Amino acid sequence: MIRSQEMLINMGPQHPSTHGVLRLILRTDGEFVYDVDPCVGYLHRSLEKIAENLTYPQFIPITDRLDYLAAINCNFVYCHTVERLMGIEVPLRAQYIRVIACELNRIASHLIMFGTMGMDMGAFTPFLYAIRERERINDLLEELTGARLTYNYIRIGGVAHDIPEGWKEKCLEFINYFRPRIKEYNDLLSYNAIFMKRLGGVGVLTTEDAINYGVTGPNLRATGFKWDLRKNMPYSSYDKFEFEVPVGTGEGGKLGDAFDRYMIRIKEMMESSKIIEQALLSLPEGEIMAKVPRVLKVKEGEIYFAAENPRGETGFYIKSNGGTKPERVKIRGASFSNIHALKKVLQGVLIQDLVAIVGSFDIILPESDR
C-alpha cells in the first residue's frame, strides 16, 4: 500500500532547537508526527577506552567533558566510585564543600534548561536573564576552582583547594539575591498563559513507561513517582540537610506532561539554594583531603555507584585488576536512557509540540554519546 501523504523529514544534526547533535527522523504528514527515530552517536569520543590508558587521577579532567553543564557532578561520581572501591573515608569538611559545589552546579544547569525552554518557545528574553544569574555562579566557581566550565575540582579523597577568603559571604549574598529571581521567572515565563497552554497536557509519560525505559531524575519525578538518590540512597552527608523532593502535580493539565517536567526543575533550584545555605552556615573545620598515596594503586574488584545528576542518574562501573590504570570503565549516561523514552512519547504530536517535548526532557548529547 502506498502511503502518499506522508513524508520523511530529517530534523538533522544541525537544527536550532534540538540541543546538540541529535538527529530525529520524522514520519509526518505536514503537521502531525506519526513516528520518530532518534539517531545518536554524532559525538562519540570513546571516553571509556581512553580511561583504560590513563591512571585514576589523570581521568578526572576528562570526566568534566562528559556533561559540561554539570561538570562538578560528573567529577564527583567518578571520584566517589573510586573511593568506595578503595574504602577511603572522606573528611567531613570536604564532604560539605563537595555538596556546595555540586548544588551550585545544579542551579547553573537548571538555569540553562529554563533559558533554552523559553527560546524554543519563541520568548528570547528569559534566556538572557538566566545567563545573568549563571554568570554570577560562574564567577563564584571561578574563585573556588580556577575555571569557568571544566572545573576539575574534586580529587580522589577530597577536594583540590580550600575555600578562599570571603567566598562564604559572597556565596550567601548570591543566594539572597537569587531567591526573588525565581519568583520573577515564574511571573515572566512559567505562569504565562501562552506558555502554560503550549506545554500543558503535551507529551505525557506515565510512571510505568518511565521505569520500563530507564528514565531517571527530574523526568521520573515529574510522573508522580518520588525517587531521588539523595534521599533514598544518601551519600556524601546529604542526609544531614533538610530539603524536599518536588514531585509532579499535574498543574498544567495532566500528570507527567511537559509542564510538570519544566516546573520540577524550577522548584529544584529553590531546594538547592536551601541546601547551599544550610551547608554554608554549618561548615565544619578540618582537612580537605584524606591521606591518599601519591601513586594510586587500587585493589582488585569491581563496583558500580550512581549519583543524582541534574539530568538523572549518572553511574560509573569500574573494574580494577590491582594496577594504576583501570581495566574497564563503563559510564551510565542519564541522557541516553532519556532519549529512548522519546520514541514512546512523540507519537501523534504536532511538530511544534515535538520541539517543546524534546526541550522539556533536558537531554545533553555528550552524556548520551560519551
Which residue lies nearer to other proteins by CB, 30 or 41? 30
Strands (E), 140-204: 154-155, 158-159
Q: Which of 229, 226, 215 is nearest to 361 (CA)?
A: 215
Which residue lies nearer to other proteins by CB, 7 or 233? 7
* Least distance from other proteins to the Cβ atom of residue 244, Å: 26
**Rounded CA separation 241/150 (Å):** 27
> Are 36 and 24 within 8 A, CB to CB?
yes
To 10 degrees, what angle do helices 92-121 and 125-145 make? Answer: 160
DSSP state of 56: T
- Cell matching residue 28: 509526518
15 touches other proteins (CB under 8 A)? yes
Q: Which of 184, 208, 244, 300 binds other proteins (CB under 8 A)?
A: 184
CB under 8 Å to 291, separation ≥6 — which residues? Answer: 157
DSSP state of 278: H
Residue type, position 174, single letter: F
Q: Which stretch binds other proteins (CB under 8 A): 12-20, 68-76, 274-282, 315-323?
A: 12-20
Which residue lies nearer to other proteins by CB, 152 or 206? 152
Q: Which stretch binds other proteins (CB under 8 A): 87-95, 143-151, 227-235, 238-246?
A: 143-151
Which residue lies nearer to other proteins by CB, 145 or 309? 145
Q: Backbone dihedral region of 2: left (phi > 0), alpha (psi from -120 to 50 degrees) or beta?
A: beta
* Least distance from other proteins to the Cβ atom of residue 350, Å: 7
User: Cell 544531614 belongs to which residue?
Assistant: 240
206 touches other proteins (CB under 8 A)? no
Q: Which of 6, 13, 17, 172 binds other proteins (CB under 8 A)?
A: 17
Please give the residue ranges that form the binding site for other proteins (CB under 8 A).
7, 9, 15-17, 30-31, 54, 57-62, 118-125, 128-129, 132, 135, 139, 142-147, 150, 152, 160-161, 164, 184, 187-189, 191-195, 197-198, 350-353, 355
